[in-house]
Amino acid sequence: MQATASAHRLHLFSPFTPAAFTPRGSAARRRNAAAPATVRMALREDGPSLAVVGVTGAVGQEFLRVLSDRDFPYRSLRLLASRRSAGRRIEFEGRGYVVEELQEESFDGVDVALFSAGGSVSREMGPAAVERGTVVVDNSSAFRMDPGVPLVIPEVNPDAMAHIRLAGRAKGALIANPNCSTIICLMAATPLHRHAKVVRMVVSTYQAASGAGAAAMEELEKQTREVLDGKQPTCEIFKQQYAFNLFSHNAPVLSNGYNEEEMKLVKETRKIWNDMDVKVTATCIRVPVMRAHAESVNLQFEKPLDEETARQILKGAAGVIVLDDRASNHFPTPLEVSNKDHVAVGRIRQDLSQEGNLGLDVFVCGDQIRKGAALNAVQIAEMLL
How does DSSP classify residue 265?
H
Tell me how far apart the alpha carbons of residues 275 and 282 are, in angstroms, rounded to a whole number.
17
Amino acid symbol at 49:
S
DSSP 32: T
Other C-beta atoms within 10 Å of 333: how many? 16
Cβ neighbors of 25 (< 8 A, separation 6 or more) are: 11
Give the side-chain half-sphere CA count within 13 A for 383.
22
Helix axes 58-69, 214-228, angle to 10 degrees: 110
Q: Catalytic annotation on 163?
A: no
DSSP one-letter string for 142-161: SSTT-TTS-B--TTT-GGGG
Q: Is 89:97 a contact under the CB 8 Å cutoff?
A: yes
What's the farthest any 2 CA atoms get from each other in the chain? 62
Closest C-alpha to 373, from 140, 189, 155, 27:
140
Work out the number of other CB atoms within 10 angstroms of the CB of residue 243. Answer: 19
Q: Are 45 and 354 in contact (CB under 8 A)?
A: no
Q: Which of 331, 324, 330, 295 is nearest to 307 (CA)?
A: 324
Q: What is the DSSP string of 97-144?
A: EEPEEP-GGGGTT-SEEEE-S-HHHHHHHHHHHHHTTPEEEE-SSSST
Annotated catalytic, 180? yes
Catalytic-labelled residue, pool 180, 185, 284, 365: 180
Q: Which of 193, 249, 293, 342 is catalytic?
A: 293
User: For residues 1 and 91, what is the distance between their CA atoms, to the nearest angstrom?
Assistant: 12
> Taking a C-beta distance cutoff of 8 angstroms, is the pair 357, 304 a contact?
yes
CA-derived radius of gyration, the chain: 21
| DSSP code, position 369 | T
DSSP state of 217: H
N- to C-terminal Cα separation, the chain:
24
Active site residues: 180, 293
